């Protein structure tokens, strides 16, 4: 079983329209032997946000560092390190960070969408 050390994670800027101050690292997926899902880590800097969007797949999130917010439809949820979130398929959503420190979270999606 592969072990990925935190200091070896390589973040790449997210260039999707509407993303500001967001980077992503693909950590565990088919290359590491997990063929059904993909685990990514997202980092949102202070003042940054993901695009507001929806898609046909669900994702599971776990906050590993900092604080931020998750908009699900018209409801905004405050998140902090240690919190979990589930984003159902087809729901308009957005992560944002109104704080100074980095907001980092794990995002697990089906492999076809990772």
pLDDT value of residue 114: 75
Number of domains in the chain: 1
Is 58 a domain residue? yes
**46 vs 8: CA distance, rounded Å:** 23
Is 59 a domain residue? yes
Is 57 a domain residue? yes
Is 2 a domain residue? no
* pTM reported for the whole predicted model: 0.94
CATH number of the domain encompassing residue 106: 2.60.120.10
- Measured CA angle at 99 (ends 97, 103), to 5 deg: 50
Weakly modelled stretches of the chain, pLDDT under 50: none
Is 5 a domain residue? no
pLDDT value of residue 69: 98
DSSP 3-state of 80? strand
Domain range for residue 22? 10-113
């Amino acid at each position: 079983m592969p072990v990925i050390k935190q200091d070896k994670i390589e973040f790449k800027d997210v260039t999707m329209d509407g993303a500001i101050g967001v980077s992503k690292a693909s950590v565990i997926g088919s290359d590491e032997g997990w063929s059904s899902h993909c685990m990514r880590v997202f980092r949102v800097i202070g003042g940054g946000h993901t695009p507001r969007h929806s898609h046909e797949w669900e994702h599971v999130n776990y906050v590993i560092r900092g604080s931020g917010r998750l908009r699900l439809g018209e409801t905004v949820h405050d998140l902090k390190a240690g919190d979990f979130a589930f984003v159902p398929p087809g729901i308009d959503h957005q992560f944002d960070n109104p704080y100074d420190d980095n907001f980092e979270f794990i995002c697990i999606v089906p492999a076809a969408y990772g």
